[in-house]
């Protein structure tokens, strides 16, 4: 039954209504570009449900809205670049925060609660049905990324004091990193092959690529700065940013806790760097070698 709402509540519902049509368009656009037919069908169903939310709210606002095209653009490209699962779960997290504002409205439109909760639950079930290759191999990516961060930040910290030459450090780090990436990928392949895993090659490829990309980012400061300590500081900053971004990505895409995973990974990487920096200092001091 339609009820009379205050101007303030109508304004709140109008915000919700535009948000629903905006998300409907985002899902619809993503459904068109997704290659997997099953995923495309899921996204199209969610789009239809979001449009249903929009039409339901329209009963109370008596207004029509166009999508927020800026938001459509941003989330569309986030999903295209960083993956469908990450993009839509990030979108749904924003919607979850907006749910707090429904409390006041529910006092006037109590039937909205069951309708919205049922449909939101259905949408989450649909989202969890989406299959995405990059998330299937997240374990392999973590292996390459984590090993590169721990090993190379440690190696570069040691090289920084032992060698004291940015170009030599960059060369040594690059050789170490590339050799380690092939070793890690090969070990990963043999391990999966021994388990008769049909995805052994693809898993090893993801591990190797994650390792090489991390190596390139960590070595980059040594190619543009001359002061070895500035280089080391920049490298450690990049390492923290990689850990921050990756753990946030995984926490959103796979619904995992962020803070604990980030802290653990950062402490390990920085701890190894501190230890190897000390080893480099001692080796240079007692070996008598100066480069």
In whole angstroms, give the CA distance from residue 189 to residue 273. Answer: 28
Residue 132 or 266, more confident: 266
Q: Please determine, for residue 76, whether its predicted confidence score (pLDDT) is greater than 90.
A: yes
Annotated domain spans of the chain: 7-131, 135-287
Identify the pLDDT of residue 151.
78
Rounded to whole angstroms, how far apart are CA atoms 218 and 155?
A: 11
**pLDDT tens sequence across 159-203:** 777 777 888 888 988 888 888 888 888 887 887 788 787 878 888
- With a cut of 90, say whether residue 70 has pLDDT above it: yes
pLDDT for the residue numbered 11: 84
Give the integer Cα–Cα distance in Å for 239 and 224: 17
Q: How confident is the model at residue 74 (pLDDT cuts 50, 70, 90)?
A: very high
Residue 92 · residue 127 · CB < 8 Å: yes
Instruction: Count Cβ atoms below 10 Å from residue 81 Cβ, excluding itself.
Output: 9
The predicted structure's pLDDT at residue 69: 95
pLDDT tens-digit map of 10-52: 888 888 889 889 989 999 999 898 888 888 888 888 888 889 8
Average pLDDT, the chain: 80
Distances (CA, A) of 291 to 29, 114, 229, 254: 57, 72, 15, 47
**pLDDT tens digits for range 121-150:** 666 666 676 766 666 677 777 777 777 887
pTM recorded for the entire structure: 0.71
Integer Cα distance of 31 and 87 in angstroms:
13
Give residue 222's pLDDT: 92
């Amino acid at each position: 039954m339609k009820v009379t709402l205050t101007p303030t509540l109508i304004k709140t519902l109008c915000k919700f209504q535009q948000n629903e049509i905006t998300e409907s368009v985002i899902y619809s656009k993503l459904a068109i570009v997704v290659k997997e037919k099953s995923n495309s069908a899921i996204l199209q169903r969610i789009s239809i449900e979001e449009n249903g939310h929009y039409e339901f709210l329209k009963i109370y606002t008596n207004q029509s809205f166009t999508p927020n095209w800026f938001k459509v653009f941003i989330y569309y490209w986030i999903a295209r670049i960083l993956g469908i699962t990450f993009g839509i779960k990030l979108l749904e997290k924003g919607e979850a925060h907006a749910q707090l504002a429904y409390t006041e409205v529910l006092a006037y439109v109590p039937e909205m609660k069951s309708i919205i909760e049922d449909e939101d639950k259905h949408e989450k079930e649909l989202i969890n049905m989406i299959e995405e290759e990059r998330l299937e191999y997240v374990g392999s990516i973590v292996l390459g990324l984590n090993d590169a961060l721990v090993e190379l930040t440690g190696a570069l910290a040691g090289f920084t004091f032992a060698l004291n030459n940015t170009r030599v450090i960059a060369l040594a780090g690059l050789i170490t990193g590339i050799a380690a990436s092939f070793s890690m990928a090969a070990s990963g392949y043999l391990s999966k092959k021994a388990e008769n895993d049909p995805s052994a090659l693809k898993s090893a490829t993801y591990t190797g690529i994650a390792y090489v990309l991390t190596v390139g980012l960590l070595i980059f400061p040594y190619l543009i700065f001359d002061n070895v300590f500035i280089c080391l500081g920049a490298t450690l900053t990049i390492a923290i940013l990689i850990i921050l971004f990756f753990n946030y990505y995984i926490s959103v895409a796979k619904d995992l806790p962020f803070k604990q995973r980030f802290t653990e990974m950062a402490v390990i990487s920085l701890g190894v760097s501190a230890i190897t920096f000390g080893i480099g200092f001692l080796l240079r001091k007692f070996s008598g070698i100066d480069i």
